[in-house]
Amino acid sequence: MDEEAWSCPDVSADKCANTYTAAGGGAYMQCGVEGKLCLQAVFCDTTTTTTLPGFVLIDDDGRWVKINQWTQGLYERQSNAYGTVRTSGPGDGKLDDSLINDLMMANKLRGPASGHLFSVFKVTAKEANLAYYIRVRDRNYTDTRRNFDFPRYSAYQFVGDRMPKNLDTGYKDLNVGILDAYHFGGRQSCNRFFMGHDSVDDCYWADGGRNTNKRCFSGGYYCHNKFRNDHCPLTNVQMYLKLADKSG
């Protein structure tokens, strides 16, 4: 039970009474903190999963398609597809980079004031009780490059239980030029969600700090699991891309 009990956002009491239908039919529920129903990756829009390549999560922020996930602390960076991203819960796999970029191009979100077009990603993990949001402009997803090739001034970030309502103002500068939510709500908790930092690849001191071509999201100093007592690689990571509304 402990292995399967991963964190999820709290939700209001009225939603706890609802039972949602999973892909393939039947009820699918997962209890989160305080016994409340967890909306994080627990039910699926059965009308769209046949046309999209990954599991579709529906939550208060709309629809999200899963593009990447890994259960262990780190994985080997690669541009090709492997495993599966069709599971409603944690698993191992990613889509091909070219397909991820096609999905990004088809699901741009427009900033209300700036008019700029953005892609928004959401990342969740077993140890974290908040989600990490990355807003990207004018970049392709490249799994073999550091931070998915999302550099400063093209990528902005946010940590919370919901996607920011304002695309233009709800996200903060990466500050140090890498994915690291320390200054934006994560601090030294498991909600820090950072990559690399001062190591030479995308996982902080992975395999003793060698350049192993490994990727992970790490938690802060006070975050620990079976891998490490501080700054541990987060497990059961799931990464989603926000889908545009059907209206476009």
CB contact burial 72-103 (16+ within 10 A = b; e otherwise): ebbbebeeebebbbbbbbbbebbbbbeebbeb
CA 126, 133, 189 angle in degrees (round to 5)? 45
Predicted local distance difference test score (pLDDT) of residue 234 = 96
pLDDT interval class at 52 (50, 70, 90): confident
Predicted local distance difference test score (pLDDT) of residue 190 = 95
Model confidence over 155-169: pLDDT tens digits? Answer: 999 999 999 999 999
Model confidence over 195-245: pLDDT tens digits? Answer: 987 666 789 877 666 667 889 999 999 999 999 899 999 999 999 999 997
Predicted local distance difference test score (pLDDT) of residue 208 = 67
pLDDT interval class at 176 (50, 70, 90): confident
Predicted local distance difference test score (pLDDT) of residue 207 = 67
Q: Residue 34: pLDDT above 50?
A: no
- Reading the block at residue 163, the tokens are 């996607």
Contacts of residue 119, Cβ cutoff 8 Å, sequence gap at least 6: 104, 107, 108, 109, 135, 136, 137, 139, 241, 242
pLDDT interval class at 44 (50, 70, 90): very low
- Reading the block at residue 109, the tokens are 């979100």
The residue type found at 140 is N
Give the Å distances, CA to CA, from 156 to 153, 166, 190, 216: 7, 13, 19, 19
CB contact burial 197-211 (16+ within 10 A = b; e otherwise): bebebbbbbbeeeee
Q: Please give the biggest Cα pair distance in the chain.
A: 49
Model confidence over 101-143: pLDDT tens digits? Answer: 999 999 999 999 999 999 999 999 999 999 999 999 999 999 9
Predicted local distance difference test score (pLDDT) of residue 184 = 80
CB contact burial 30-39 (16+ within 10 A = b; e otherwise): bebeeebbbb
* Average per-residue pLDDT for the chain: 80
Give the distance from CA 246 to its chain's centroid: 22
Alpha carbon distance 9, 37 (integer Å): 9
